[in-house]
Amino acid sequence: IARYDRVFDGYVRGDDYLTRDSFTRHTRTLAQIRGQDPDSVSIRAFDEELGNVWNQLAAVADSDHDGRVSRDEWRAAGYGITASLDDAMAAGAEWPFEDWIGLLYRVIDADGDGHITKQEYTDWLEALGLAASTDIDGAFAGFDTNADGNLSMAEFSDVYHQYWTDF
């Protein structure tokens, strides 16, 4: 449950509910940290994709249909998603988040060199408001399984897969 709460807290930033605006705030904060124009193509594309994520999330999680997702709704959705993924993977289905992971990877990889550096990872956590409460060196080292100082797409995908499936 802590991992769900951590992501919820990162996006709501002190609010009680997750909304579409929570995602827009995240993209704008990331742009600001990087000194990027919040209306740049990459930031707009990411915000648009987050809008799609919000629409899908709201359809699953917003059980009272008030246009926002409470912590309890978020947790229930997280458990449901994890259970569905476990069932799908056991049945041999393909991992459904590859497109999302690819987009997220490209956004975090600020310089577009095909690798996520520790600074790029730190900027991402800062944009979510999670950097101060994260052992960045330890987390990054754990994710960087080949110890080359960068996260490859495969390493990043493994992290995302573990978030949703390893309990």
pLDDT of 160 reads 85
Q: pTM higher than 0.85 for the full model?
A: no
65 sits in the region (left: phi over 0; alpha: psi -120 to 50; else beta) called left
> What is the tens place of the pLDDT at every residue in 17-73?
999 999 898 888 888 888 888 888 878 888 898 899 899 999 999 999 999 999 999
* Percentage above 90 pLDDT, the chain: 42
Taking the C-alpha atoms of residue 68 and residue 103, their distance in angstroms, rounded to an integer, is: 24
Average pLDDT of the chain is: 89
The encoded tokens of residue 82 equal 């994890």
User: Is the pLDDT assigned to residue 121 strictly greater than 70?
Assistant: yes
pLDDT at 135 over 60: yes
CB < 8 Å & 24+ apart, contacts of 109-114: 110/34, 114/152, 114/153
